[in-house]
Amino acid sequence: MTVITRFAPSPTGHLHVGNIRAALHNWLWARKSGGKFLLRLDDTDLERSRPEYADAIRADLTWLGLTWDDEARQSDRFALYEEKFEALKASGHVYPAYETQQELELRRKVLLGRGLPPVYDRAALSLTPEQIAACEAEGRKPHWRFKLDHDRPILWNDLIRGEQRFDPKLLSDPVIRRADGSWLYMLPSVIDDIAMGVTHVLRGEDHVSNTATQIQMFAALGARLPAFAHEALLTGSEGKLSKRLGSLGVAHFREGGLEPMAVLSLLARLGSSMAIEPFTDVRPLIDSFDFAHFGRAPARFDEGELATLNQKIVHMLPYAAVAGRLPTGMDEAAWDAIRPNLEIVAQAADWWRIVTGPFDAPAPEAEDRDFLSAAHRLLMEIPFDGGEWRALTDALKGETGRKGKPLFLPLRRALTGMDHGPDMGRLLSLIGKEEALARLSSRA
C-alpha cells in the first residue's frame, strides 16, 4: 500500500501555526513512508474563498520546503459530489430537513436548559407529505442531513489517541448540504479522500467528533477507512488556547527573519516525547517521525523557544547556505567571524557596516585618550598576519599595565563603536590595518 496523506486547507485566510504543524506532520509521514503528500484546497465556500489566499498557501508551503506531489481544488469536483450525493439519497443515507436556523437554535437552548445534550431529534424524518408541501409552499428549501446508523457504536483505533468509541445516538445527524445547494465540509472531504486514495488522515483533535460521523460516511459509500490520527492542539506559552496562535503564520516568521528550518525543527516534534533540537536539514526529522511519540497532552508553542532555536540554527549555517543573503563583499571569513553573534541572518548586515563603515564611534573617556594614542602608535609597528589583536593587547598591557575590561573595552569601543560583539581578533583582521589606525587616531 502506498501511503497517501493530504493537507486540505480552506483558502479563506492565511495559514496559522496550527495549520502549518498539521501540514508538516502529514508531509513528514508521507516522506518517511515513501508515499505521496497531496495539497487539496477545500474551497467549497465560494463566497469566502479567494485566489490570493490559495496563492499564499502555496507560497507558505514552498517557503517551508513542504513540496506536494499533486494538487486538487474542491470547486472543480462538484459533479463528483453530486453523483455521490444522489447515490446516498437513493440508499436512504441522507434526508431533507426544513427547520430554520432560528428553530434549531431554539430547540438547542431548550435541550441545554433541561440538562440534555443538544442532539438533533430527527423531526424531519417524521414529516408527512402534507407538511413537506406546506414547507415548500412557504418558500422553504430543505437542507440535507446524513442519517447516522444508531444500531452500532462507532469504533476506531486512533494512531495517537488509541481506541476511540462514540455512541451515534449522542451525535446529531450532520448537515452536509445547505438549503442553497452549497456543500459543507463533511461529505466532500470523505468523497475526496476516497477518490484520492488517502490512506492516513492526520489532523487536530478538534476533528475527533467529525471523524466519528465521517466513518459512517465512508461505510455508506462502500469505501475502506483510512487510518486516523488526531493530535493535541497547540496552546500559547501561558498554557491556554491563545487567539494569538491564530494570527501567527509564515508571513510573521518570514518577516521576523526566521529560518524555515527553525519552524520545522520546532513544529515537527512539538507535542511529542522527542527532544526539540536545531536542525539545518530536514532528513533527521523525517526519519524520526512516529505517531507513537505523540501524546494527548496539549502542545505548548512558545515564540521564545522558536527564537532560541533559530539562533542556534543560524550559528550552524555554513557560508554556502547564506551567501546569497549576505551584504556585498562579505566573504566566508567574515561570516565565520560574525555568525556567533547573530540571532537572524539579516543582522549580518549591521555587523558588516561596522567592519566597512562609515564609522562613528562614541567619544572615549578622558582617561582613555592617552591609552588609545598608545594603541595607535603600537599598531603601526604590528604586522597584520592573523595575530595582530593578541600582539596589540600584549604590547598595551606591558606598556600601560592595564588588563581585563580596562584593556579590552576602550579598544573595542574605538574600533567598533560597541561594548560587545564578535571576537576582536577576527574583527580587527576584517577591518584592516589602515582603517583600524584611522579609527584609533580619531579617538586618541
Q: Annotated binding residues for ATP, as ranges?
A: 243
Kindly write down the DSSP assignment for every residue of 48-92, as one continuous string.
Answer: T--HHHHHHHHHHHHHHT---SEEEEGGG-HHHHHHHHHHHHHTT
Of the candidates 24, 32, 31, which has an alpha carbon nearest to the alpha carbon of residue 60?
A: 24
Q: At what angle do helices 51-64 and 17-32 cross, to 10 degrees?
A: 60
Cell of 432: 584592516
Annotated binding site: 243
3-state secondary structure 84-145: HHHHHHHCCCEEEECCCHHHHHHHHHHHHHCCCCCCCCCHHHHCCHHHHHHHHHCCCCCEEE
> What percent of the chain is helix, strand and coil (3-state, nearest 5)?
50, 10, 35
Measured CA to CA, the distance from residue 107 to residue 275 in angstroms comes to 49
Of the candidates 232, 225, 166, which has an alpha carbon nearest to the alpha carbon of residue 190?
A: 225
* Beta-sheet pairing, 175-177 with 200-204: unpaired
Beta bridge partners of 156: 164
Of the candidates 42, 107, 105, 104, which has an alpha carbon nearest to the alpha carbon of residue 75?
A: 42
SS3 of residue 41 by DSSP: strand
Report the C-alpha dihedral over residues 383, 386, 388, 389, rounded to 10 degrees: 170
Query: Angle at the Cα of 176 (from 122 to 222), degrees rounded to 5?
Result: 95
